[in-house]
Amino acid sequence: MNAISAMEVDDLDYEKIVNAYVEINADFFIKSSEQHTMIILSQCIYNVSSESIMLRGSAQKLLSSFIDFSASILCREAPAHSEFGKEVKNADVSWTGDRVLCILRNFILKHIGDAINRGGIIIKVH
């Protein structure tokens, strides 16, 4: 995710980074521990403010994917609302609703808040 272009030594190799993002999906989160996921999410937050539209897009997609994954975990713990719950019946037991909420509040929402406080252009993404 920090690939350097072979053509321009000082520049990032955007294509390789985007391909790396493609590899990370819900299955990756299921297999990974919270700590390992945080490494990827930190990289993701870094790329969300990238000047490259490709990188921003990939990072935003991954964040959305993590939020969907979080919803799955939360729904698994509350089966009454299980629109997403069925997808992660085999999810690793290490992921709990509390931990997922903690990441959403203390990491993702925190950084969104920091970005808003810093100002600049805020783009609404559907």
Partner 1 sequence: MCSCFYTSLKYYLCMSRKSVKYHGEREIKILKLLSKRMQDRSHVMKYLDVLLSFLNKSVKDPGMVSLLLLLNGKTYNFRSLVCDCFIAFTDIRREALLAIQDIIAYLGMESTSKIINTVSPLLVDAELDVRLCICDLLESLAKIDFSLDDVVRIMSLFVAGSFASLVSDFAIVTNNWFLTCRQSVSAI
Chain residues in the site for partner 1 (CB under 8 A): 1-6, 9, 12-13, 16-17, 19-20, 23-24, 28, 31-33, 35-36, 38-40, 42-43, 45-46, 111
User: CB of residue 28 vs partner 1: minimum separation in angstroms?
Assistant: 7
Read off the tokens for 1: 């995710």
Burial of 79 (0-12, 13-18, 19+ CB in 10 A): exposed
Distance of alpha carbon 83 from its chain centroid, rounded?
21
User: CB of residue 62 vs partner 1: minimum separation in angstroms?
Assistant: 11
User: CB of residue 19 vs partner 1: minimum separation in angstroms?
Assistant: 8
